[in-house]
Chains A and B, each alone.
Chain A
Amino acid sequence: MHPIKNFTTLFKPRFWHAGTSMGQAQTLFNYRRFFLGSVSIRAFVSIVPMAILLMFTYMLQDTAIENENHLRTVRLTSNTRRTITYFLQERLDALKFIVQQKDVEALMASDELPQVLHNLKMGFGGFVDLGLIDDSGFQISYSGPFSLKGKNYEDQEWFIRCAEEGTYVSDVFLGYRNLPHMIVALRWPMEDSTFYILRATLDIQKLIQILSSLDLAEKSEAFLCSRNGLLQTPSKYYGKMLERMDLPVPEYSIHSQVVEAVDKTGNPILIGYAYIEDSPFILMVVKRSVEIMKGWHSIRQKINWFFGMSVVTTLVVVLCISTLMMNKIYDADQTRLKAIERLETSSRLISVGRLAAGVAHEINNPLAVIGENAGLIKDLFTLRKEYKQDKHLMELVDAVLESVERSGQITKELLGFARHFEPKITPIQLSKTVSDVLSFHRKEASYRNIDIHVDVPEDIPVIYSDHGRLQQILLNLINNAFQAMKNGGELDISVRKEGEKTVSIRVRDTGLGISPEDEKRIFEPFFTTKGPEGGIGLGLSITFGLVRKLKGDISVQSKLGEGTTFVINLPIDTQGEIRNEGPAR
């Protein structure tokens, strides 16, 4: 139980449950509110900026990474587009080369074309057939796996386009052996403004090779599609060859572009694309966003964990420190309040003392007058025979004299209470003092069966104090103890050393005890719990004054029905204390 209790005291400040027991005492502020406020603000200020910073960093990272990716993708797309463009250009250039070299008549010869085709196959690779077509669309010469000689292409789009534009690149189709092929064609202008067209069919292996050799991450790929979205090279994820791809056809743009999109299963993707000029192709480089971000996400998880731990640690530390500080403030405040209370009690006592002394002095004089006059009356009565015989008269005078005497006692007590003079410091052996004082009560203790225990250890040093006052203090306390106890009780007197400079004397009885409300007022002058016959209630306030005169302090602990303990702390060197403090009040 204890370790857990100690643990929670780290977090919960002491005043949390003290709450209303402070009663009318004025605390400096509302502790609970202050504590909660201080903890909240501290926690907030510690954690929120961190959180904001983290979020901000993540956002920046996201943006940076996105930009980076876009840039990379654009660059890759751009470079790849260039490569493909050059590839296609190269093929056309090959035809141009042939055209530069040969005469058209030579190519019309039936064995010339096959030779050229063969050279092309050997030199470049990928050429499947070669054909010469005249300007009316008539295939004059052909070398290749089909028999196309004599075919007319007059109405075909490729022919018309090539005739107009000078070059032509076709999209992919299923050709020889049902493998994908494409066509490149070149217009060969003659001097007489006729022309021929040199046409070649290519297989797209090399193209595919270019695309597959790209350094792409997992689940990313590059392929070509036509301007109406049909796949021209194989794609792993986005559709079947020569069928509509599963992605939207991107908008035309001169430059390579990057767009963010979503694939058919909803995954976010990044598409870098480029329209290949003078061809029906669009280059598509498709990257899966998730894969890109994967590495970052795992790092982020670690960062988030760390952040979480920091938050928890911060909260714990803030709570502990706040509790610690508030406890200290609370303790300081309590000490302050106690000091104020003491001061108030002290000054009250002083004013009462002065008042009492004043009253006493004033009363003593008229009292003396009454006393003397009554005495004189008695004297005169004693002389005159007729009065001397009158018992009743004498009784009356005696009653007056008795009351005068009693009043005199009371004023004496009052004056004793208000006495002001320097204490007489002598070395005192506490064990002897205690036993001296107890000797007054030994007889009473024995016939009332009260057990007296005295515990003054060997190591209690000789203290320097006022012997008379100390005796009176102890006498008062022991008197009270005896009055509070029934027969068969216990009286414990023990002396202890408290630190280097103080001894404490403990007087404990097993008597009636004092209620908590009375406890607070027990040292007040004229406060008594003993009823009308019990005296005027100055005993403990006198004792209090005496203890203070000896530069000590006195406190009480009591439980109703169980008993009371008075604890007096006295300095070992009272003279030193007096020197330090200056003259008595």
Chain B
Amino acid sequence: MKTLVVDDEKKIADVLAQRLVLRGFDATPVYDGGTALSLLGKGSFDSMILDLRLPDIDGIEVLRKTLEAFPHMRVVILSGHANDQDFKTCLELGAIACFHKPGKISELQAALTQSSENKNASH
């Protein structure tokens, strides 16, 4: 599965991508919303892990734009600053799942691959 990992913290995006690779994903780390959207346009990604706090565009905007352009995308939100309202909005917009940082790799993995389940809010 081709996955885009979007997080403004380089350390997190890189390490998360590496771990996904070890689990068989084709993961690419990016560090801002603009790069993410342009990459999505160029390549065919299946899923995305998205942090809501990005340096250039608001994470929720990125989510909206992504799902507008690629409605089939499985987007999992992983954020350290969001509140329940934000997560609710994301779910309404079409995200698969929302997690708080620090996230569990197993849960992220499950959300990316499983179908139509795990529409969890915060836990």
Contacts and interface: CB of A to CB of B under 8 A. Distances in A.
Partners in one complex: yes
Interface of A: 361, 364-365, 367-373, 375-376, 379-380, 383, 404-405, 408, 412, 415, 419-421
Nearest to A361: B81
Given A379-B22, A421-B83, A421-B85, A369 B9 contact: yes
B101 A365 contact: yes
A364 B85 contact: no
Nearest to B22: A379
B16 to A, nearest CB: 6
B119 interface: no
Interface of B: 9, 11-12, 15-16, 18-19, 22-23, 80-81, 83-85, 100-105
A408 B79 CA distance: 12
Given A372-B105, A375-B15, 12 more contacts: A365-B101, A368-B80, A368-B102, A372-B11, A375-B105, A376-B15, A379-B19, A380-B22, A408-B102, A412-B100, A420-B83, A421-B84
Contact of A408 (B11, B12, B100, B105): B100
A376 B80 CA distance: 19
B103 A368 contact: yes
Nearest to B85: A421
B99 to A, nearest CB: 10
A372 B16 contact: yes
Contact of B12 (A361, A369, A379, A380): A369
10 contacts: A361-B81, A364-B81, A364-B102, A368-B12, A369-B11, A371-B102, A372-B11, A372-B15, A379-B22, A419-B83
A373 B18 CA distance: 10
Given A365-B9, A379-B19, A380-B22, A372 B102 contact: yes
A415 B123 CA distance: 12
B102 A404 contact: yes
B101 A368 contact: yes
A368 B83 contact: no
Given A372-B19, A375-B19, A376-B15, A364 B100 contact: yes
A383 B22 contact: yes
Contacts of A364: 80-81, 100-102
Contacts of B80: 361, 364-365, 368
B90 to A, nearest CB: 15
Contacts of A419: 83-84
A287 B84 CA distance: 109
Nearest to A365: B80
Nearest to A383: B22
Contacts of B104: 405
B83 to A, nearest CB: 6
B102 A367 contact: yes
| B84, B101, B105: residue with the most chain A Cβ atoms closer than 10 Å | B101
| A361, A365, A373, A379: residue with the most chain B Cβ atoms closer than 10 Å | A365
B55 to A, nearest CB: 14
Nearest to B101: A368
Closest 10 CB pairs of A and B: A371-B102, A364-B80, A372-B15, A368-B101, A368-B102, A379-B22, A369-B11, A364-B101, A376-B15, A367-B102
A472 to B, nearest CB: 13
A421 B83 CA distance: 9
Contacts of A412: 100
Contacts of B11: 369, 372-373
Contacts of A420: 83
Nearest to A373: B15
A197 to B, nearest CB: 145
Contacts of B85: 421
A368 B19 contact: no
A423 B122 CA distance: 17
| A361, A369, A375, A412: residue with the most chain B Cβ atoms closer than 10 Å | A375
B8 to A, nearest CB: 10
A415 B81 CA distance: 9
Nearest to B23: A379
A420 B15 CA distance: 32
B18 A376 contact: yes
A370 B12 CA distance: 9
A397 to B, nearest CB: 13
Contacts of B19: 372, 375-376, 379
A561 to B, nearest CB: 40
Contacts of A361: 80-81
A341 to B, nearest CB: 30
A375 B22 CA distance: 11
A339 B108 CA distance: 49
Nearest to B100: A412
B15 A369 contact: yes
Given A376-B15, A376-B19, A379-B22, A367 B83 contact: no
Contacts of A375: 15, 19, 105
Nearest to B79: A364
B71 to A, nearest CB: 29
A106 B84 CA distance: 157
A419 B86 CA distance: 12
Contacts of A408: 100-102
A417 B104 CA distance: 23
| B22, B23, B80: residue with the most chain A Cβ atoms closer than 10 Å | B80
A102 to B, nearest CB: 149
A368 B9 contact: yes
B51 to A, nearest CB: 9
A373 B81 CA distance: 20
B18 A367 contact: no
Contacts of B101: 364-365, 367-368, 408
Contacts of B16: 372
A374 to B, nearest CB: 9
A367 B12 CA distance: 10
A420 B85 CA distance: 10
Contacts of A371: 102-103
| A361, A372, A373, A375: residue with the most chain B Cβ atoms closer than 10 Å | A372
Contacts of B12: 365, 368-369, 372
A415 B87 CA distance: 14
A401 to B, nearest CB: 9
A357 to B, nearest CB: 9
| A361, A367, A415: residue with the most chain B Cβ atoms closer than 10 Å | A415
A266 B2 CA distance: 135
B67 to A, nearest CB: 24
A30 B105 CA distance: 66
